[in-house]
């Protein structure tokens, strides 16, 4: 599979369709997978098909997903591992900010330990404290220090407004930005446009919707109609449309099924000019 060609992810060059490992954990991204063997097969099959960009986090599970990745893929020959810090889980699966400078450093070190690596390709600072700039200066300094210390090769940010993106970009060289974006949710369009202007990788999460209250793109009438016309699945159409929004767009669709993995990766075979979703 050609996986949409390649693009820059910080200092790395990766295929434009990667894999988001979040769904390998149990329901609600909490606890062990429903089918551990299938989760391991998904990871190994992704790499077999050329995936070289895997997105994860210590708080997926928590710990569960990183341990699956290590078991399936270590020593990760040619794979760029991307993680994120800034959040933690409680014992009931709740999500909470964990973003003091010392928390971020601990989160990075925890990822390194559970993935059994000395350096991560990129680590994203997940912004969870609203839409302001409070605390960002110190958080970015901690991320930059981790890069200086060789723990991470690149710094990214996640879930940011345009104001926050501009603030961050003035203080640290950004490898990527992860924000929600899909055919039905274009609330991050200004962020995507700014990333394109700066030649920074934009990594959309929830490109198909999610179980977290994000509309399922696969049921949109325009997507369904295009899929029928092209002999593709609605997921493939939605992913191909998202990737067509810029050469700096890197997809990380996730799944816990080998069948769905292969379908998602085949989205790169659809030509953008054939989609015509916005006509």
Catalytic residues: 60
Q: What angle do CA 206, 207, 211 make, to 5 degrees?
A: 35
Cβ burial 41-78 (10 Å sphere, 16+ → b, else e): bbbebbbebebbbbbbbbbbbbbbbbebbbebbeebee
Q: From CA 21, how far away is CA 257, in angstroms rounded? A: 11
Helix and strand totals (H; E) in the chain:
10, 11
DSSP string, 140-171: HHHHHHHHHTTSBS-EEEES--HHHHHHHHTT
Paired with 85 in beta bridges are 125
Tokens of 89: 């889980």
The DSSP output letter for 68 is H
């Amino acid at each position: 599979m050609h996986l949409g060609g390649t693009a820059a992810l910080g200092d790395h060059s990766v295929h434009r369709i990667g894999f988001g490992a979040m769904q390998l954990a149990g329901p609600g991204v909490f606890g062990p997978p429903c089918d551990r063997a299938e989760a391991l097969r998904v990871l190994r099959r992704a790499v077999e098909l050329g995936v070289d960009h895997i997105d994860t986090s210590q708080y997926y599970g928590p710990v569960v997903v990183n341990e699956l990745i290590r078991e399936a893929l270590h020593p990760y020959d040619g794979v760029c591992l991307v993680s994120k810090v800034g959040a933690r889980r409680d014992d009931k699966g709740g999500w909470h900010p964990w973003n003091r400078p010392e928390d971020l450093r601990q989160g990075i070190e925890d990822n390194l330990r559970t993935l059994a690596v000395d350096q991560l390709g990129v680590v994203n600072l997940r912004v969870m404290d609203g839409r302001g700039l409070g605390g960002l200066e110190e958080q970015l300094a901690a991320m930059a220090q981790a890069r200086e210390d060789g723990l991470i090769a690149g710094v990214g940010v996640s879930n940011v407004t345009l104001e926050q993106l501009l603030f961050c970009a003035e203080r640290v060289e950004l490898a990527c930005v992860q924000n929600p974006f899909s055919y039905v949710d274009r609330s991050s369009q200004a962020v995507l446009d700014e990333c394109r202007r700066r030649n920074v990788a934009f990594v959309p999460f929830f490109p198909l919707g999610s179980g977290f209250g994000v509309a399922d793109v696969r049921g949109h009438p325009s997507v369904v109609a295009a899929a029928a016309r092209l002999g593709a699945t609605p997921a493939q159409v939605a992913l191909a449309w998202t990737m067509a929004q810029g050469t700096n767009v890197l997809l990380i669709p996730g799944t816990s099924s080998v069948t769905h993995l292969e379908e998602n990766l085949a989205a790169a075979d659809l030509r953008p000019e054939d989609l015509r979703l916005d006509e």
